[in-house]
Structure 1
């Protein structure tokens, strides 16, 4: 089984492209494209984890970006908690 999310001892969350629903800046006309590369988030830059208007689990970032994922809320919450604790973990 392929990994969906991965956390590092530096407090980063690596999100693989297969788990990304969309990545966009709030109130923007079009979303950003991931181009098949993993997205790396610093857990210190995440404001909160919730659902967006479409019902997808979403990391809301300090810089205004919303990263919506095709995973369950509990998986995203676990990744966030492991990253905050700076523990290496893979979520499949």
Structure 2
């Protein structure tokens, strides 16, 4: 199979000219369209998630973060924030 492969024809996109109307050609084209569409969806989803995280980090929380009191209780492990 490898000995019948012609790299020059593949680079010129003429390797599968005779099989342009076969079932495998349609499947190949459909998979390429699906892969491109899926990549676009992932890119848009990443951009939306980045904007949501940026909004969450920079949104005013409605209280002063400097007025938080931390103290340690001996019976409870960890800090308690008030």
TM more than 0.5: no
Who wins on radius of gyration, i.e. which is larger? Answer: 2
Higher relative contact order (CA 8 A, sep 6+): 1
Of Structure 1 and Structure 2, the greater helix share is in 2
Of Structure 1 and Structure 2, the greater strand share is in 1
TM-score (norm 2): 0.23
TM-score (norm 1): 0.21
